[in-house]
Amino acid sequence: MGTFEAGFGAVETAAGRTATEAAALAKAAKQLLKAAQDGNIGHVWRQSRRLTDLLSSVTEHVERAAASWPFAAESEHAYLEQRFGAELCGEAGRIGLNVTPRDETLVCSPSIIRVNPADRAVTIDGRKRTAIRPSKLAADLLKIQRVDPRGNPQRFLEALYKAYRILAPPPANSLIQSGQVVALAKVYDLLTTLPGSGRQYSRTDFARDLYLLDSSDVDTTRSGDGRVSFPHSTAARSGKEVFSFADRAGNLITYSRIQFTQLS
DSSP 163-217: HHHHHSPPPTT-SS-TT-EEEHHHHHHHHT-STTHHHHS-HHHHHHHHHHHHHSS
HSE at residue 225, side-chain half, CA atoms within 13 A, is 15
pTM: 0.82
Which amino acid belongs to residue 264? S
Question: With bands split at pLDDT 50, 70 and 90, how would you rate the model's confidence at 240?
Answer: confident
**Could you tell me the sign of the dihedral formed by the alpha carbons of 162, 164, 165, 170, in that order?**
negative
Which amino acid belongs to residue 173? N
The pLDDT score that the predictor gives to residue 235 is 58
* Statement: residue 157 has pLDDT above 70: yes
* Statement: residue 236 has pLDDT above 70: no
Q: Give the Cα separation of 239 and 189 in Å (integer).
A: 14
Question: With bands split at pLDDT 50, 70 and 90, how would you rate the model's confidence at 224?
Answer: confident
> Each residue of 50-73: pLDDT tens digit?
999 999 999 999 999 999 999 999
* Statement: residue 1 has pLDDT above 70: no
> Each residue of 191-202: pLDDT tens digit?
998 877 767 899
Q: How far is CA 180 from the centre of its chain?
A: 37
Q: Spell out a b/e string for 182-219, using b for 16 or more CB atoms within 10 Å of the CB, else e.
A: bbbbbbbeebbeeeeebeeebbbbbbbbbbbbbbeebe
Beta bridge partners of 261: 227
> Do you find a cis peptide bond into 110, omega within 30 degrees of 0?
yes
